[in-house]
Structure 1
Amino acid sequence: MIVGARTPLKRWQQAAVAVGSAVGALLNPRRADLIAALGETTGKPSFERVLERMKRSPEGRAVLLERPRVISTEVGHAWDLPPNTFGAAYANFMGSRNFSPDDRPPVRFMDTDELAYVAMRAREVHDFWHTLFDLPTNLIGESALKVIEFEQMYLPMCMLSVVGGTARFNEKQRKLFFQHYFPWALRAGLQCTDLMCIYYEQHFHEDLEDVRRKWGILPAPVPPT
């Protein structure tokens, strides 16, 4: 999925794919394939920086060496863990929404195997971050998580997604996002550890609140009523 599907692009082709994906994603934010293509064609420098950070981190190096995948055959044991654990919280997050870890689109436009893996890893740990930050999967929750993702990886796609998402808010959603979720996301993204350098699967058995404290995770506050 990571190696075989890659398509080499010239610069003008990358620009064309980026523009087309951006327009398509704005028109239909549910098109995960377009959002993925936008992230890959605009995010190479960001993924290169993430790769270098992972190489400097002991846990990040272990991830790069072993290349774990967040797919059902590798994370299915999370569904059998005690309810207080991080793994069980992730399983509950996925199961309650009828999500499958196998639904992520493949990487197509990265130059090397290493960068392709980093891009795939960033895509696959997205639901771990939803679980850790206790964010919903509605438009507000996804936009808030994109703020955190931008602060963690500086991917242009993340900021474009925030702009596109907030443009679709109604007046009540916009007020809630900018007064409640946006300031929290700025703090949360800055105070937590480097989230791309965590070998999440090795911490499935640990208590959810313990890993949140260890990684400096600030869960989303309950919105005002």
Structure 2
Amino acid sequence: MDLSGFVRYMESPGDAADNASISRFFQERGVQAQMLEAVMGDDRVASLVAERYAPAPHETDVLLAMPEGSLGRAYARFLEVHHFNPHFFHGVEGESDLAYVLNRLRATHDIWHVLLGFDASEAGECGMNAFTFAQACTPTTCLLMAAKMIRAIPDEPAERRRLLQAIADGINLGLRAPGFLGWRWEEHWSEPLADLRDRLGLRALTPAMAD
């Protein structure tokens, strides 16, 4: 059992290699296959997978030039402000349905951040982990969330409460929001973020930390 990625995550925020290590751990044990079966029950996800939907790579400069308040501009600003690499995650090799779903989840991670209002703090990432686990039964995000909770044990009480609130928000959003995995988000870059949030019913479910 190679749990080295999880161990490193318990000590400090992990990197792409640690994420890949945790994912491989679950793939080798067939847990990822159970996740795939769960998400394929959504017809929109099944259609996306069958088509192997692969939007053209986005150019950050092009997205930044989009109208203020649009999803594309908000996403590009999120990447720019935090100096994030949109290709941070290691791609899963292969042409299987599972490989496609895992890569799609990773490709849209930061888009979901923007839509949901979770920031890039430790608590914000924990909220994202909780949301993704609730929506897609992803075992990797469950383990990452556990590692972050363990790291939070020596933190100040206020920081622990913030992290736990983010987890509660993520679970609530994940259980009540429509399925995110089946959406073709890249076809909505120019749409106002507020309109998309309204269409998804997110205004009434906005996390406590959102703007």
Q: TM-score range by the shorter chain?
A: 0.7 to 0.9
Q: TM-score when scaled to structure 2? A: 0.83
2:187 aligned with 1:202: yes
Aligned mates of 1:163, 1:70 — CA distance in 2: 35
Q: Name the structure 2 match of 1:173.
A: 159
1:138-149 equivalences under 5 Å are 138-149=121-132
2:96 aligned with 1:113: yes
CA RMSD of aligned residues (A): 2.5
CA spacing shift, 1:202–1:46, aligned 2, 3 Å: farther
Q: Name the structure 2 match of 1:81.
A: 66
1:41-80 equivalences under 5 Å are 41-42=25-26, 43-49=31-37, 52-53=40-41, 56-57=43-44, 61-62=47-48, 64-68=50-54, 71-73=57-59, 77-80=62-65
Q: Is the 8 A contact 1:72 1:101 kept in 2?
A: no
Q: Is the 8 A contact 1:50 1:196 kept in 2?
A: no
Gaps of 5+ in 1: 1-15
Deviation at 1:176, TM superposition (A): 2.3
**Which one-letter code corresponds to 1:83 in the other structure?**
E
CA spacing shift, 1:201–1:46, aligned 2, 3 Å: farther
User: What do the CA deviations read for 1:27-52 (whole angstroms, capped 9, x no partner)?
Assistant: 34322221233124314224422552
Deviation at 1:155, TM superposition (A): 1.6
CA spacing shift, 1:98–1:60, aligned 2, 3 Å: farther
Q: Among the aligned pairs, what percent are the same residue? A: 21
Deviation at 1:67, TM superposition (A): 2.7
Moved over 6 A (4+): none
Residue in structure 1 matching 2:200, options 206, 211, 215:
215
Q: Is the 8 A contact 2:87 2:107 kept in 1?
A: no
Aligned mates of 1:198, 1:25 — CA distance in 2: 30
Gaps of 5+ in 2: none
CA spacing shift, 1:138–1:37, aligned 2, 3 Å: same
Q: TM-score when scaled to structure 1? A: 0.78
Aligned mates of 1:121, 1:70 — CA distance in 2: 13
Aligned mates of 1:46, 1:87 — CA distance in 2: 33
CA spacing shift, 1:153–1:40, aligned 2, 3 Å: farther
User: What do the CA deviations read for 1:84-141 (whole angstroms, capped 9, x no partner)?
Assistant: 2111111111111122213321214x6x532211111111111011101111111111
Deviation at 1:167, TM superposition (A): 1.6
Tell which deviates more after alignment, 127-136 or 212-221.
Answer: 212-221
Residue in structure 2 matching 1:133, options 113, 116, 123:
116
2:142 aligned with 1:156: no
Q: Which secondary structure state, in structure 1, belongs to the residue aligned with residue 5 of structure 2? A: helix
Q: Which secondary structure state, in structure 1, belongs to the residue aligned with residue 54 of structure 2? A: coil
Q: Aligned residue pairs: how many?
A: 201
